[in-house]
Amino acid sequence: MQYLSELEASIRDMVQDGRGVLAADESAGTIEKRFQQINVESTEETRRCWRSLMATTPGLGDYISGIILFEETLGQATDSGDSIVEALRQQGIVPGIKVDKGKGPLALSPGDLITFGLDGLAERLQGYKRQGTRFAKWREVYSLENGAPSTHGIEANAEVLARYAAVCQSEGLVPIVEPEVLMDGTHDIDRHAEVTEKVQQAVFAALHRHHVIPELMILKPNMVMPGKDCRRARPEEVAAATLKVLQRTVPASVPSINFLSGGQGPEEATENLNGINQLPARASWLLTISYGRALQQPALMAWQGKSENETAAQQALLKRARLNHCAMKGEYSKEMEQEG
């Protein structure tokens, strides 16, 4: 493979014990909704300020090894004038990029969704790489409502994820593969486990067909949980169900499993990650995070769009990252939430 040494170096820099990935790749629509919660208008400047705040948080690199960026961020600068990409490098954080173009209905498959963006992907990746990114992320979404997902939907999404991952590796970028079985609905934890297992089986079969090297990719799956409208599961239930599915589906050669938070609150996501890492029967994977809102929300609430709140917001972000660092080691406790 042409870029084998580059891919291996990126994996070494990203897959490190006690460090995870921050998802800061919100689309224009998503970040607008986040800003509405704090009565801040989403403009290019307010988005730049928020992303600069995160990228320049002192000490963030101790707990975060990579940050997924939105395309707009690659051209933005910090308050000091450095590019945000360069600010991340200075902290030892690997810059990455979201490359999918959003989801829509899968034709002739009611209830199933599919993600767009494969056309021209290789050329886009070449441009992102020149701008300093070293990994990419692509998300496929699976609903459990109204009889979905169908077998056809599962297979179609797996094929897209595998094609994306193959293009990434061929261009020298580590692919983060994100098959998300949504938490929305009334399903119980067994139903979520059943579908998650089918999805991940299909994904790894497709990755194998497309010659994707498992040692040079990262999996970003959902935890196994009951639906939002169902009884909340205890951390030990989530941990046991999640690990059981992973052991049945994920090759041991995959170096890191970076869980998405999937709508969990900040404390809930940390608590569940801690439960997973406290289980003794684990494979060789690193079991860590690629959280977005579950890392950002406390900092966003502290910031409120005001420059005088920047230090407090950075402290809130750093605290959340540190607590998840403890959870990666199975050493988190709820009492830590009250500490400074």
DSSP string, 57-104: -TTGGGTEEEEEE-GGGGG-B-TTSSBHHHHHHHTT-EEEEE----EE
Q: What are phi and psi of 35, to 5 degrees?
A: -70, -30
How many residues can be counted in the chain? 340
3-class DSSP state of 105: strand
3-class DSSP state of 264: coil
137 is an active site residue: no
Find residue 104's DSSP bridge partners.
114
Contact 39, 300 (CB under 8 A): no
Active-site residue identified among 98, 137, 198, 220: 220
**Sign (positive or negative) of CA dihedral 109, 115, 116, 119:** negative
Active-site residue identified among 26, 140, 159, 178: 178
178 is an active site residue: yes
Q: Which of 258, 264, 198, 199 lies closest to 227, judged by CA?
A: 264
Residue where the block lists tokens 């000091």: 80
DSSP string, 239-251: HHHHHHHHHHHS-
- What is d(CA 207, CA 199) in angstroms, rounded to the nearest whole number? 12
DSSP string, 175-196: EEEEEEE---SS--HHHHHHHH
Residues annotated as catalytic (active site), given as ranges: 178, 220
